[in-house]
Amino acid sequence: MLILRRKKDESILIGDNIRITIVECGSEGVRIAIDAPKQISILREELSKAEVVNKDALMPQSEFLHAMQAALLKRHPQHQENTSDKEPGMEITTDQKDNIAAAAENES
Amino acid sequence: MNLITTAYGDIQYEKEDLILLSDGLFGFSELTEYLLICLDEEDSTLLILQSVQKPEISFAVINPVLLCPDYSPVLTPEELFSMGVEDSGELSYYAICIVKKNWAESTVNLKSPLAINPQTLKGMQVVLEGSQYQFRHQIGDLLQSSENLDTESGCDVKC
């Protein structure tokens, strides 16, 4: 790995068309400006981690969900009374619950 | 309106129920409209964030306070501005879960929660900078530490 020391307003060049300039240095962090062609993806590392976590969370299996809900409910029975009106969220009607149950059966 | 979902059957909803994430979720920027559905009408512990545009896309989300009683995200001034609020406490937070067969091994993402303005139902997924929260906390561990600290305030998130 190459490690360089740069001061404010100094740049480094990567290849022919990427320039990274130090805009500001401070105790809170460093601000950098990146000039690069549009097709090059630039992402804060934590955002790319957040993408991976979201993808791993996609489409939970309904039988696992119900097992987790039952376990959580056991530990937080008081939550039922605490459900706040201001929280967004819709209830599933009985019909819809039947559909979910049917969907769960089809899955298994 | 009616939405035929892949996992949860037919869902009836009104336009006012739509949660609008103008930037989508990380990795799903093209999907901006969601419904928050309770798995069970008597309990809203675990909710489903269901995409309206792609019926096969859904996530399990939880109110993070249930797992971590002193969870208090601090958003940047830019994020608060775009959400139309002045204080992080005015927003509702939902943490996305990765649900495993053994529920205790399921993980919850406290590092990048979904923040929703309960007045407008507009929301965004944020990454909490410099916080002690992580992308994957095991739910079993969180519950254990919040139980141990039942009489005290807060949970001991080991990060």
Residue-wise pLDDT tens digits, B50-72: 999 999 999 999 999 999 999 99
Note whether residue A50 is domain-resident. Answer: no
CATH number of B2-148: 2.30.290.10
Question: For residue A75, what pLDDT band results from cuts at 50, 70 and 90?
Answer: confident
Q: Which of B6, B46, B137 to mutate to test the interface with A (most CBs of A within 10 A)?
A: B46
B88 min Cα distance to partner chain A (Å): 15
Note whether residue A67 is domain-resident. Answer: yes
Considering only residues 47 to 76 of chain A, which have any Cβ-Cβ distance to chain B shorter than 8 Å? 47, 49-62, 64-69, 71-73, 75-76
Note whether residue A84 is domain-resident. Answer: no
Task: Give the residue, A93 or B93, on which the prediction is more confident.
Answer: B93
Note whether residue A21 is domain-resident. Answer: yes
A40 min Cα distance to partner chain B (Å): 16
Q: CA–CA separation, A62 vs B79, rounded Å? A: 33
> Residue B59, SS3?
strand
Residue numbers in A near B59 (CB within 8 A): 54, 57-60
Q: CA–CA separation, B21 vs B114, rounded Å? A: 9
Q: CA–CA separation, B155 vs B159, rounded Å? A: 12
Residue B116 has pLDDT above 90, yes or no: yes
- Say yes or no for a CB contact (<8 Å) between B143 and A75: yes
B133: Cβ contacts below 8 Å, ≥ 6 apart:
B71, B73, B110, B111, B157, B159
Give the pTM: 0.77
Shared domain check, A106 and A63? yes
Q: Which of A64, A101, A65 is nearest to B43 (CA)?
A: A65
Shared domain check, A64 and A32? no
Note whether residue A45 is domain-resident. Answer: no
pLDDT of residue B76: 92
Domain interval for residue A18: 8-37
> Residue B60, SS3?
strand
Residue A108 has pLDDT above 60, yes or no: no
Note whether residue A101 is domain-resident. Answer: yes
Task: Give the residue, A103 or A76, on which the prediction is more confident.
Answer: A76
Shared domain check, A28 and A67? no
A56 min Cα distance to partner chain B (Å): 7
Q: Which of B99, B91, B100, B103 is nearest to B128 (CA)?
A: B91
Average pLDDT of span A31-59:
91
Question: For residue B138, what pLDDT band results from cuts at 50, 70 and 90?
Answer: very high
Q: What are the residue boundaries of the structural domains of chain B, listed by start? A: 2-148
Which residue in the set B6, B26, B92 is minimally distant from A54, CB to CB? B26
Residue numbers in B near A74 (CB within 8 A): none
Q: CA–CA separation, B52 vs A73, rounded Å? A: 28
**Residue with the two structure tokens 């999907």:** B31
Residue numbers in B near A94 (CB within 8 A): 41
In chain A, which residue's Cα lies nearest the Cα of B13?
A90
Note whether residue A54 is domain-resident. Answer: no
- Say yes or no for a CB contact (<8 Å) between A54 and B121: no
Note whether residue A43 is domain-resident. Answer: no
pLDDT of residue A45: 84
Number of domain units in chain A: 2
> Residue B34, SS3?
strand
Residue A97 has pLDDT above 50, yes or no: yes
3-state secondary structure chain A: CCCCCCCCCCEEEECCCEEEEEEEEECCEEEEEEECCCCCCCCCHHHHHHHHHHHHHCCCCHHHHHHHHHHHHHHCCCHHHHCCCCCCCECCCHHHHHHHHHHHHHHC
Question: For residue B38, what pLDDT band results from cuts at 50, 70 and 90?
Answer: confident
